[in-house]
Amino acid sequence: MIKRFIMMMLLGALILTGCTKAGENAEKGSPKEKGTEAAIEKNEGINFYTSLEEAKVAAAGEKKFLFFKTKEKPIMIDLYTDWCGWCKKLDQDTFSDPTVAAYVHKHVIPLKIHAEKDPYLAKKFKVASYPTILFIDKDENEIDRLSSYFGPEDYLEKLKTFFEEGKTYGNMKSIYEKSPDVANARDYLYSLHERGMYDETLDVANFILKAAPADTNAISVKFQVLFGKQEFKNEELKNEFLSLAKTIEEELDSRYESFKISYYLIISSFYYAEKDFSNTLLYTDKLLSSEEVSDNPGLTARVRLLKVNSLIRSGDLDELKEFAEDLTANEVAENFIPWIKKLKDPDMLIRFGKFEEAVGSILSQINVLWSQGKDIETGSTDLNIPNDPVSGKKLVYRCKLNEQKRPEEFIIRTPSPEKYNTKALSFDIKTGKLVIELK
């Protein structure tokens, strides 16, 4: 379920282990002959440095690059962690690609850093998610960054906008500040948006819209940023978001055609957060009927889970039973499908949804405490365990850490499973999702 997906994101640092082959090689490899023509001729992937100081030395004295204000090659830093799945995919799909490697070796000094074992750069540049790929000069001034997974073709395209078009954050900011016109603002807008600089992005989007009120790019970016800020307790911002949604939807089959799937994803998530489940279902059905979504298994799963959660919280037992015929066991809670088939009371769905939200609240707390290095074992005074939302009794929380301070045992369960028409209902780290024991 979507909640399960959110839970796993929150617990990622706690329970995911392992590192990629490229990551292992990065720590063991010799710094000699990094980024050489020999590596390119052998049709190998990117040959990374593993020391910032060595990368700086390698960068010094290289020929001047047209779009950078230094005489040295920029340094490209892949910041990764062992638990980051997308970091692994970057290694496997993108950094191993010989065409990407050749382009990288020509234009930058590649450096790979484990962000948790060597946190200096991650802290200095306030990196909040992984993978993040930083581009800096030898004096550690940031040129730009990429903060998500890119396949080989998309990654090359991004690099070419940097090295052949000069569209980096630093350049776009400098150009816009010297000459704040709409054309320069549009380029700068994308740089800000990609970096998650919400307030600055809104300022530039509003600058564009003041001069060009119908600018589709500024409208779509502003729409995304307002959603990203999630400040919908502010009625003014909420109304502005809905006004933009209306503008986009009126021309979704024409001017905003390329934005359609992103729009449906955002608006369905918005209505779900607002507990407007009828509208959530309206847009999840539009997404599931789209070829673009059906051709993307990961996106399909995400939308299906959003639909399941909406049906649960709206108490629509009949439609959920019908939809459950197409679900697989790994998409939902343990034993969820047979539980649904036996269920006769729609109110049990709503109760189940409330329990799931209570578990999500605890996991959110744990994520914060864990990141602060605080104790999360049973009996921790920092953890506020809420009551079961249906029975009103205190939820059962049990956590035991091993010598590496990782959860050896981790469970949250209701003390009153009969209120959910189950023998037991819990969240268990061993499965990574809610577990229903049938009566």
pLDDT at 418: 96
**Token pair listed for 268:** 């369905």
Residues near 415 by beta carbon (within 8 Å), at least 6 away in sequence: 388, 391, 393, 394, 395, 396
**Token pair listed for 401:** 């850490």
Q: Taking residues 203-215, what's their average pLDDT?
A: 96
Number of H helices, E strands in the chain: 20, 8
**Token pair listed for 263:** 């729009």
Q: Look over the chain and give the mean of its residue pLDDT values, rounded to a whole number.
A: 85
CA distances from 242 to 27, 156, 177, 182 (A): 49, 36, 31, 25
- Residue 122 or residue 405, greater confidence: 122
- State the Cα–Cα distance between residues 420 and 70, nearest whole angstrom: 64
pLDDT at 349 > cutoff 90: yes
- Residue 218 or residue 31, greater confidence: 218
CA distances from 437 to 104, 317, 325, 334 (A): 52, 19, 20, 8
pLDDT at 381: 63
Summarize pLDDT for 133-187 with one digit per residue, the tens: 999 988 898 888 998 889 999 999 999 988 888 888 888 888 999 999 999 999 8
CB 165 within 8 A of CB 155: no
pLDDT at 159: 92
pLDDT at 19 > cutoff 80: no
Q: For the whole prediction, is pTM greater than 0.75?
A: no
Summarize pLDDT for 56-76 with one digit per residue, the tens: 888 876 554 444 444 578 999
Helix/strand/coil for 163: helix
**Token pair listed for 293:** 């979504």
The sheet with strand 433-437 has its strands ordered as 396-401, 407-413, 424-428, 433-437
pLDDT at 28 > cutoff 70: no
pLDDT at 3 > cutoff 50: no
**Token pair listed for 223:** 């729409």
The sheet with strand 132-136 has its strands ordered as 109-114, 75-80, 132-136, 142-146
pLDDT at 277 > cutoff 80: yes
**Token pair listed for 276:** 């407007």
Summarize pLDDT for 312-335 with one digit per residue, the tens: 999 999 999 999 988 988 889 999
CB 331 within 8 A of CB 434: no
